[in-house]
Structure 1
Amino acid sequence: MKKVGTFIAASAAALLAMTGCSTPGATTPAAGNNDSDSYSVGVTFSDLSNPVWAELVQEAQEYGAEEGLEVNYVDAQNSAGQQVTQIENFIQQGVDAIIICAVESNALTDVTLRAQEAGIEVVGYTQVLENYDAQYLVNAYDTGYANGEAAAAWINENYPDEPVEWGLMDLPRFPEIIERANGIKEAIAELAPNAELVATAPALTAEEGVTNAENFLQANPDMKVIATIGGGGAVGANEGVKSAGISDYDSFGLFGIDATEQEIQNIINGEPQKTSISLGGGKAHGRTLIDMTSALLNGEEVEKDQYMPVEVIDESNAQEYYDEVYGG
């Protein structure tokens, strides 16, 4: 029985350096070549500088090696046009499956249909596709609401009788992330009515998170809370809060999503970050995507729409989570 082939780059830096290229050491199959005992899988991600997705591909590489898998990867670097070209190249190469984290889902409608018509399995990740065989998604609003709920609880515990200014790091170019941000805002408005949103700025990477946090606090020195839609922004914001001169970490609350390794370490260490929402983590996602793709290619029944778990990680369970997920 054939197995899914995958090989994915071990770091975001390498991925960015090799944009549009096959992974070193990976074997690019000839179109229609299905005579070997493995499947070929193409992977295209919207932006592999995202630390969660870098973690995902590292785990997928290790898990794939255990399973004897091979892959070609490409990084779209937030270019929808480039991603279309990447998928067209995968079709021409005759891959058996394509895993897609879309830059713009609407831009992929035609090319994903062509992939399916060519007999290629299409697996979506985080962004909803119109044409797909299976996809692994975030329940965006509920995830955001859980983050806002944690922030509101902290506000009510630490500042129950005074106005609290807070900032939001969002990413409005993705519809699903807009829903995540809406969940954050609505939870805080509902559960901590003394809180006022005074600043917003987009953040995907840690670098953006540092800059945003510094700017937020320079413009709003009384700000007590920052919520982010992802782990990259949270990791950066944690450093930005400190570099902005906040030394009493108990007085400031940072709330993230993704539960990356650095986020969890920051929570354990008592730094500004107080909670993060785990969606299973990059490592688990890498394994899930490979398992879903393998099942499709082997003719097994696969639930078409699958959703990531939502779990709040705070000081009460951060060490346990770290030990379980990251092998502390």
Structure 2
Amino acid sequence: MKETFKKTIMMLLILVLGVTMTVGCSKKEEKKDEEVIAQKEDDTQKNEDNEEDSGMVVGMTVQDLSNQIWSSSCEALKGLVEADGGKMTYLDCANNASKQIEQIENFIANDVDAIVVHPVDVNAVEQVLSEAREAGIKVYSWDENLENADIVWLIDNYELGKIIGQEAARWINDVHNGECEVAVLDYPQIPVLLERGNGIVDAIKEYAPKAKIVAKTSAINPTEGMAKMETIFQANPEVQVVCCIGGGGAVGANEAIKAAGKLTDKIGVFAADATEQEMEAIKNNEANRMSVLITGNGEAIANEIYGWLEKLVAGEDVEKEVYRNTIIVTAENVDDYCK
């Protein structure tokens, strides 16, 4: 009897021990599985973080995004940056220097790698851009020869204005025997565009001296261009040639001409930028007769800017002053640039 009892107790102890060992192993396996899952989640997060940080971070501020060539360039550049794993924010400062300074300050606070600035006022942005460079941020200046920039992407704006004026003068001489009334849509609020406007006026005086400039007013976007042209026609209904510092004003002038019923083979609008709207109007034999393509379309501009940004952020040595190419677009070659 005692022997049987001892055997029973022994069997129960073995059973309890086996259950305890099973539970212990199970807990160890669960803990091990939890550790593996946690490690995988941590590795995944690290990979995601690395992917997010794999490209450059760019902040860009431009004068006026209602200008089609500027807005399309910004959007194309954003696409290039993001395609390489980076991030980009582009902003319209509405031609307000104080607003542009605030935008640059925000880029600095967000620790971007590079800032692309299309300055409204050179003197106003120099100090804040100096602060950006002190923080290790690369600065790319679009159209202005800034002191506090790593690259300045330039146009000789006076000479560009002379190209616009020369083409207008050729039209005046060929179509109007050298004599007609001319309107100029300039934008003296921005120094480089003041130079461009001066180039236009000087070229017309030099190459079509009998032409008469009867109106000068500022317009930088289509809305302003149309409104200003409507006002010009009220005082000077015989205007036959309009010279504009940029495509925004030129597009608006063309619309005003059509709305006024003044579209004939003798009226012409001459400008720079060669926006898509301008080139479509050239193809359709509307008032836009010529525009100067600077570097290329928005995609071409973005490709060039991005190429320089890559070198800057990588720490490569680059020339500070880079001059842009110009191409005269007329009815003869518009199909090469307007697809």
Instruction: Choose the corresponding residue for 2:102, options 76, 85, 89.
Output: 85
Instruction: Choose the corresponding residue for 1:181, options 197, 220, 230.
Output: 197
- Of 231-240 and 77-86, more deviation after overlay is shown by 77-86
Amino acid at match of 2:304: T
1:217 aligns with 2:239: no
Residues of 1 paired with 2:197 and 2:223: CA distance?
20
Residues of 1 paired with 2:320 and 2:64: CA distance?
24
Residues of 1 paired with 2:161 and 2:143: CA distance?
14
Q: What are the residue-to-residue correspondences of 1:252-267 with 2, within 5 Å?
A: 252-267=267-282
- Cα shift at 1:35: 9.5
- Of 251-260 and 56-65, more deviation after overlay is shown by 56-65
For structure 1, the 5+ residue unaligned runs are 1-32, 323-327
Would the aligned equivalents of 1:224 and 1:251 in 2 still touch at CA under 8 Å?
A: yes
Instruction: Choose the corresponding residue for 1:279, options 273, 291, 294.
Output: 294
The structure with higher relative contact order (CA 8 Å, sep 6+) is 1
Give the corresponding residue for 1:115. 132
Give the corresponding residue for 1:240. 256
1:150 aligns with 2:149: no
Would the aligned equivalents of 2:115 and 2:137 in 1 still touch at CA under 8 Å?
A: yes
Residues of 2 paired with 1:147 and 1:247: CA distance?
20
Residues of 1 paired with 2:83 and 2:109: CA distance?
28
Would the aligned equivalents of 2:245 and 2:272 in 1 still touch at CA under 8 Å?
A: yes
Would the aligned equivalents of 2:270 and 2:290 in 1 still touch at CA under 8 Å?
A: yes
2:189 match: secondary structure: coil
1:105 aligns with 2:122: yes
- Over 3 Å counting, the alpha-carbon distance change for 1:276 and 1:35 in structure 2 is closer
Residues of 1 paired with 2:272 and 2:89: CA distance?
29
Would the aligned equivalents of 1:214 and 1:243 in 2 still touch at CA under 8 Å?
A: no
Residues of 1 paired with 2:109 and 2:83: CA distance?
28
- Over 3 Å counting, the alpha-carbon distance change for 1:157 and 1:81 in structure 2 is same
Q: What are the residue-to-residue correspondences of 1:1-328 with 2, within 5 Å?
A: 36-160=53-177, 163-248=179-264, 250-280=265-295, 281-322=297-338, 328=339
Deviation digits for residues 247-282 of structure 1 (CA, Å, limit 9, x no counterpart): 32x110111110111111111111111100110233
Would the aligned equivalents of 1:204 and 1:233 in 2 still touch at CA under 8 Å?
A: yes
1:59 match: secondary structure: helix
- Over 3 Å counting, the alpha-carbon distance change for 1:107 and 1:315 in structure 2 is same
2:102 match: secondary structure: helix
Residues of 2 paired with 1:320 and 1:203: CA distance?
28
Amino acid at match of 2:95: N
Residues of 2 paired with 1:36 and 1:265: CA distance?
41
1:224 match: secondary structure: strand
Would the aligned equivalents of 1:134 and 1:304 in 2 still touch at CA under 8 Å?
A: yes
Report the number of matched residues. 289
Would the aligned equivalents of 1:218 and 1:244 in 2 still touch at CA under 8 Å?
A: no
Based on CA coordinates, which of the two structures has the bigger radius of gyration?
A: 2
> Percent of counterpart pairs with the same letter?
39
Residues of 1 paired with 2:86 and 2:51: CA distance?
14
Residues of 1 paired with 2:122 and 2:51: CA distance?
29
- Of 226-235 and 89-98, more deviation after overlay is shown by 89-98
Amino acid at match of 2:289: K
Residues of 1 paired with 2:80 and 2:281: CA distance?
27
Would the aligned equivalents of 1:165 and 1:197 in 2 still touch at CA under 8 Å?
A: yes
Residues of 1 paired with 2:247 and 2:59: CA distance?
25
